[in-house]
Amino acid sequence: MAHRPKRTFRQRRADSSDSDGAEVPSAEPGAPGEQAARGPSKEGSPPGGGHAVAAEPRLRGRGRGRGRVWASSRRAARAALGADGDSGIPESRTVDLSTDEEDGTHHASESKDDQSSSSNGSSSLEEEFSSIVNIPDAAFIQAARRKRELARAQEDYISLDVKHTSTISDMRKNTTRNEETSEESQEDENQDIWEQQQMKKAVKITEGRDIDLSHNRKSQTMKKFDTSISFPPVNLEIIKKQLNTRLTLLQDTHRSHLREYEKYVQDVKSSKSTIHNLENSSNQALNFQFYKSMKIYVENLIDCLNEKIINIQEIESSMHALLLKQAMIFMKRRQDELKHQSTYLQQLSRKAETSTNGDKALDEKTQWILEEMESRRARRRQARALSGNCDHQEGTSSDDELSSADLTDFQKSQGDILQDHKKIFEDVHDDFCNIQNILSKFQQWREKFPDSYYEAFIGLCIPKLLNPLIRVQLIDWNPLKFDSIGLKQMPWFKYIEEFMNSSMEDSKKENGSDKKILSAVINKTIIPRLIDFVEFIWDPLSTSQTRSLITHCRTILEEQSTFENEVSKGKKDLLKSIVSRMKKAIDDDVFIPLYPESAVENKTSPQSKFQERQFWSGLKLFRNILLWNGLLSDDTLQELGLRKLLNRYLIIALLNAIPGPDVVTKCNQIAAYLPEKWFEDSTMRTSIPQLENFIQVLLQSALKLSRSEFRDEVKEVILILVKIRAFNQAESFIEEYHLDHLKSVIKEV
């Protein structure tokens, strides 16, 4: 019997798959090698030669890849069969049909080769596992089985089984007869058995190679350790130092972990607080609904006001034009009457008579004007007599009476404007035209969501929203009328004050914009309207108008005192317009004529009456100017009242007047109108410089009176000097003219 020589693992790796035909004898019938190999394999072995088949794939499987065992088994068989041609059995896939002993020997030798080859290093292991396991397929094994059966049928070998020698011929006949019938069933059965065997063998191969690989790795690791290497000496200090270093690192790490822990604890607390606040807060959907409704409300409010502002401006302009027309009527009438009366008196002084038609026409017009003027004065005298006012001076009354036709026309026009005024918001819901309702909407916002309310600066927006509505309420408001309603009594003023006072409960918003709502409304709405009245309608010669205007201005400026910086411009504009209007009145309306003494000696003469009327009219303006004391600065009042009016007009009239009780009365009235705060300094011995001319007039009047029958009036003059703190001048006058009986007057003061 011919035995296959033992081959190591490396010899098998060196031989390629193409040289397998040279190592394995050909399976052709009658081959010597095959006959020698089949003798022992027939005894006790199944016809299929399972051991031989199992051994050969194990050898070929060494060195092939592990991961592709299941995926490449059948595909390799089909590729081999397709490449062989007609025979269907490639020479490289010839299977060695050796006996079980040979298979066992080969298996043992291969195991030894595996163990010896495992020590060749990691490079040989990588080459071993990178190869592919080649396992014979079913078709290859079936072809080999058929060749063995044909060889038995031809009896070209000597059987070792003596029991079957007499039946070899019968077996040959039976084999030939049953070969065709059992070929198909046997092939299917063998196919299943073969597949199961191949699967078991592949699992065993992979398990074995895993064990070899781990063993090789361990052995390789053991070989890496070299005991000949010497390590540096180790002492206690080095160990201690390393431990301390390690301890320091651990402590630093621990501290960083503590800081992170504290941070996490704070985050947890903050998250819990946020959750608590969100749980306790109102529903977000309701909040969104509120903001949405508020947005829609404000948009609708703005649309409404934008639509109505045109009507408001038209009606406001109509009322202003009506009042301006009335004021121009009074001003033009006064100037015309002054012009014609002055012309008439000049003609009388010259005693000149004209005969031309033009002059006659002028005289007729002047006569008509004078008659109308005297009729109005007569009605006023009658009214004063009925009221018991007997101390009135001619020229101090305001000639603001309208004719019946003009009064009817004025009342009709005013009524039409007020009717249109009522129709402005007749088609508007109260929530969009009632100031109280509008403020209540914003108050709800402030109470529910104060943070967003103040962040939106609603306090700065409210004055702009209320401006058209307040202007509507001010259309029929005339601050020059003595019976006009005060600002604090107006409904809008009260509503805004209530809205502001409700916000004062929040101490954190003490300096919030809500505290400035009223001042902003006054600055942006009331002051511009007052300026229009001052510049175009106010008559500074009218005491009633001046007193009413001062009352409203004092209220406004007192409200602005808290926020002086914010409204300084509005305040300055208002006061500037007041000063400008009074300057214009001094220049245009003050006229005191000077006549010869012979013309004014008779107190009943037209010249004397006209002169007296014009002086008292100028003195009335002097009083009205000084009524602004406390609102206008002292310098402004002294400039207007003393330098421009008193020294330029009134003093000249006093110097040209006939000395007597009338001059003392006029001087006494002038001193009475002077503000007392100008003379509050008890150390003053000399009056203010602007009164120096007035003091000289008093001294001259006292001198003339002391030489006349009106000596008792000198005391009144000295009292006037004492009142205006002209002590030095009074004492000098008494000493100079030996008026020792008047020294007691100075001592009493």
Which range among 152-166, 211-225, 376-390 shows the weakest confidence by mean pLDDT? 152-166
Are the CB atoms for 488 and 555 separated by under 8 Å?
yes
Residue 10: CB partners within 8 Å, gap ≥ 6?
Answer: 113, 117, 124
Are the CB atoms for 717 and 701 separated by under 8 Å?
yes
Task: Please give the pLDDT value at position 355.
Answer: 43
Mean pLDDT of 338-366: 66
Whether residue 224 has pLDDT greater than 80? no
Q: What's the distance, CA 139 to chain centroid?
A: 86
Phi, psi of 630 (to 5 degrees): 100, -25
Whether residue 335 has pLDDT greater than 70? yes
Residue 95: CB partners within 8 Å, gap ≥ 6?
Answer: 24, 27, 52, 53, 56, 136, 140, 141, 144
Task: Please give the pLDDT value at position 308.
Answer: 94
- How does pLDDT run across 73-125, given as a tens digit for each residue? 444 444 444 444 444 433 433 334 333 444 444 444 444 444 444 444 444 44
Mean pLDDT of 238-258: 93
Alpha carbons 344 and 332: distance in angstroms, whole number: 18
Q: Report the amino acid identity of residue 92.
A: S
Whether residue 722 has pLDDT greater than 80? yes
pLDDT cut 90: percent of the chain above it: 36
Alpha carbons 725 and 722: distance in angstroms, whole number: 5
pTM of the model: 0.61
Q: Take residue 725 and report the two structure tokens written for it.
A: 């703190």
Bigger pLDDT: 400 vs 324 = 324
**Distances from the Cα of 4 to the Cα of 27, 112, 541, angstroms:** 15, 17, 150
Percentage helix, strand, coil for the chain under 3-state DSSP, each rounded to 5:
75, 0, 25
Q: Take residue 672 and report the two structure tokens written for it.
A: 């009475």
Bigger pLDDT: 560 vs 192 = 192
pLDDT cut 70: percent of the chain above it: 69
- How does pLDDT run across 8-63, given as a tens digit for each residue? 334 444 343 444 443 333 334 343 333 333 443 334 434 444 433 333 334 344 43
Task: Please give the pLDDT value at position 512.
Answer: 66
Whether residue 551 has pLDDT greater than 80? yes
Residue 250: CB partners within 8 Å, gap ≥ 6?
Answer: none
Alpha carbons 35 and 49: distance in angstroms, whole number: 15
How many residues in total does the chain contain? 749
**Distances from the Cα of 302 to the Cα of 297, 298, 436, 521, 689, angstroms:** 9, 6, 16, 17, 58
Residue 726: CB partners within 8 Å, gap ≥ 6?
Answer: 686, 687, 691, 695, 698
Residue 122: CB partners within 8 Å, gap ≥ 6?
Answer: 216, 220
Whether residue 487 has pLDDT greater than 80? yes
Residue 567: CB partners within 8 Å, gap ≥ 6?
Answer: 519, 522, 523, 527, 560
Bigger pLDDT: 314 vs 659 = 314
Which range among 84-88, 196-200, 366-370, 391-395 shows the weakest confidence by mean pLDDT? 84-88
Alpha carbons 727 and 719: distance in angstroms, whole number: 10
pLDDT band at 468 (very low <50, low <70, confident <90, very high): very high
Q: Beta partners for 632?
A: 629
| Average confidence score pLDDT of the chain | 76
For residue 536, the tally of other CB atoms under 10 A from its CB is 15
Task: Please give the pLDDT value at position 594.
Answer: 87
Nearest alpha-carbon partner for 621 in 373, 392, 395: 395
Which range among 33-42, 321-330, 475-484, 542-551 shows the weakest confidence by mean pLDDT? 33-42
Are the CB atoms for 431 and 396 separated by under 8 Å?
no
Nearest alpha-carbon partner for 60 in 133, 111, 126: 133
Task: Please give the pLDDT value at position 325.
Answer: 92
Which range among 10-19, 499-508, 574-583, 643-652 shows the weakest confidence by mean pLDDT? 10-19
Task: Please give the pLDDT value at position 215.
Answer: 58
For 177, counting Cβ atoms within 10 Å of its Cβ (0-12 exposed, 13-18 middle, 19+ buried), the class is exposed
Mean pLDDT of 561-573: 69
Which range among 387-401, 572-586, 603-617 shows the weakest confidence by mean pLDDT? 387-401
pLDDT band at 226 (very low <50, low <70, confident <90, very high): low
Task: Please give the pLDDT value at position 322.
Answer: 94
Task: Please give the pLDDT value at position 579.
Answer: 96
For 103, counting Cβ atoms within 10 Å of its Cβ (0-12 exposed, 13-18 middle, 19+ buried), the class is buried
Alpha carbons 234 and 445: distance in angstroms, whole number: 79
Task: Please give the pLDDT value at position 9.
Answer: 37
Mean pLDDT of 291-318: 94
Bigger pLDDT: 689 vs 225 = 689
Task: Please give the pLDDT value at position 353.
Answer: 45
Instruction: Give the CA-trace dihedral at 468, 474, 479, 481, to 10 degrees.
Output: 160
Mean pLDDT of 351-367: 55
Got the DSSP string for 290-350?
A: HHHHHHHHHHHHHHHHHHHHHHHHHHHHHHHHHHHHHHHHHHHHHHHHHHHHHHHHHHHHH
**Distance linking the first and last C-alpha atoms of the chain:** 170
Q: Report the amino acid identity of residue 95.
A: V
Question: DSSP 3-state assignment of 80?
Answer: helix
Q: Is 630 left (phi over 0), alpha (psi -120 to 50) or beta?
A: left
Q: Beta partners for 629?
A: 632
Which spans in 43-137 are helix H? 50-61, 69-84, 100-117, 122-129
- Long-range pairs, 500-507, Cβ under 8 A, ≥24: 502/443, 503/446, 506/450
